[in-house]
Amino acid sequence: MKKTALILGSDSDLPIAEKAVGILKKLGMPYETHIMSAHRTPEVTAAFAKNAADNGFGVIVAFAGKAAHLAGIIAANTLLPVIGVPIKGSDLGGMDALLSTVQMPSGIPVATVAIDGGANAAWLAARILALTEPELSERLRLERERMTEEVMEKDRKLNLN
């Protein structure tokens, strides 16, 4: 199975990235986590993105706040799917990061999840990789069934009163 790259713009993004790690572990997906900066390590970031496919990655998740250029820099340097996770970290409540991540120029798309949406980024990465991984697709199906049962059980409990 191809790996998922989790690229954090800063170590302060780790609590949100840990939500993604939990999902990837639950689904048995291989991953690597790195800290890179679109502004402080642009060459390192670009080199990672350019070589990601050759290094066994199938999708890249970028976590960044404020100006949040990380996902865009990565997307500009790879043909792999890139998922951006805008991080709440400024006086603007993460809206600056959301807009920076989602407003990409035509031809350089970044799939963007909610502010601090690390878990959904992992679920989306899994869906992307499941297109070519039948075992992962089955694990996703089973997780969906488990989620459905959880909701149904909550409904049953609610209606016991």
User: 57-101: per-residue pLDDT in tens?
Assistant: 999 999 999 989 999 999 999 999 999 999 998 789 999 999 999
Q: Cα separations (Å) of 121 from 50, 67, 158?
A: 21, 19, 31
Domain count, the chain: 1
Residue 44, domain member (yes or no)? yes
- Which two tokens mark 153? 């059980």
Residue 75: Cβ within 10 Å count: 25
Residue 19, domain member (yes or no)? yes
Model pLDDT for residues 10-63, shown as the tens digit of each residue: 999 999 999 999 999 999 999 999 999 999 999 999 999 999 999 999 999 999
Residue 161, domain member (yes or no)? no
Residue 103, domain member (yes or no)? yes
CATH number at residue 81: 3.40.50.1970
Q: What's the pTM?
A: 0.95
The radius of gyration of the chain's CA atoms, rounded to the nearest angstrom, is 17
Residue 140, domain member (yes or no)? no
Residue 156, domain member (yes or no)? no
Percent helix, strand, coil in the chain (nearest 5)? 50, 15, 35
pLDDT at res. 161: 64
DSSP 62: E
Instruction: Average the pLDDT over 123-138 and give the result.
Output: 98
pLDDT at res. 100: 94
Instruction: Output 101 or 159, whichever has higher pLDDT.
Output: 101
Residue 149, domain member (yes or no)? no
Residue 93, domain member (yes or no)? yes
The boundaries of the domain holding residue 75 are 3-135
Instruction: Average the pLDDT over 130-144 and give the result.
Output: 98
